[in-house]
Amino acid sequence: MEKFTVLRGKAVPMMRANINTDDIIAAQAMLGKPERIGDRLFTAERYDRDGNERPDFILNQDRYRGGQVLVAGANFGCGSSREAAVWALTGYGIRCVIASSFGEIFHDNSYQNGLLPIVLDEATVASIAAAIERADDPTVTVDLERGEIRLPENGLVRFEIPEERSAALLAGMDELDLLLTRGDALDAFQQRDRVARPWVWEA
């Protein structure tokens, strides 16, 4: 998994609430080549029936095309548990989503796939979106080590995520990688458990 330390890129304001995983990647859009899944992000809104870009969709506008930070409305990633929703975002190049709340499963899947979900209160998220919309250049910097979002026109917003989650992203590790770093503790547990519950270990 790619490490997340400091991300500098275009920020895209999509302040609609309840953007669900089917909006992010429709079921039929998951059938193509996995390495091209980013091309199918927001398929229904991004393309017309003939596969042409809809010019009014925000990711098709030059100002926001290729955005790497998404600023979204509440309950982002709600709906089904499809992990492909995160893959579509990261496949497009989005490495961070800022919202006031997330779908629970999507939130966990994000950490497992190198996507940073930042939770802030609704007023702060709205102020970030407004700063991006009025700026000449919508570029922001997300600094995970410092817990800072540096906005256009010298704006600064601080954020916090659980220390274990932060450490995993900084190191480029998912939960399995972290578990494997605790090999000594796992071995010690197994040795104790063999004594306490020998029947479990019988072949």
Confidence of residue 153 (pLDDT cuts 50, 70, 90): confident
Which superfamily is assigned to 6-171 in CATH? Aconitase, domain 4 (3.20.19.10)
**Spatial distance between the Cα atoms of 183 and 106, rounded to a whole number of angstroms:** 28
pTM of the model: 0.86
The structure tokens listed for 107 are 């939130």
pLDDT per residue as tens digits for the range 49-92: 999 999 999 999 999 999 999 999 999 999 988 899 999 999 99
| DSSP letters spanning the chain | ----SEEEEEEEEE--S--BHHHHS-GGGGGS-GGGGGGGTTHHHHB-TTS-B-TTSGGGSTTTTT-SEEEE-SSBTBSS--THHHHHHHHHT--EEEES-B-HHHHHHHHHTT-EEEE--HHHHHHHHHHHHHSSS-EEEEETTTTEEEPGGG-EEE----HHHHHHHHHT--HHHHHHTTHHHHHHHHHHHHHH-GGGG--
In the predicted model, is pLDDT for residue 6 greater than 90? yes
Residue with tokens 């250049």: 137
Segment 169-191, tens digit of pLDDT? 998 876 656 555 565 666 677 77
Given the DSSP bridges, would you call strands 96-99 and 116-119 parallel, antiparallel or unpaired? Answer: parallel
Domain map (residue ranges) of the chain: 6-171
Determine the angle formed by the axes of helices 163-171 and 104-112, rounding to 10 degrees.
Answer: 40
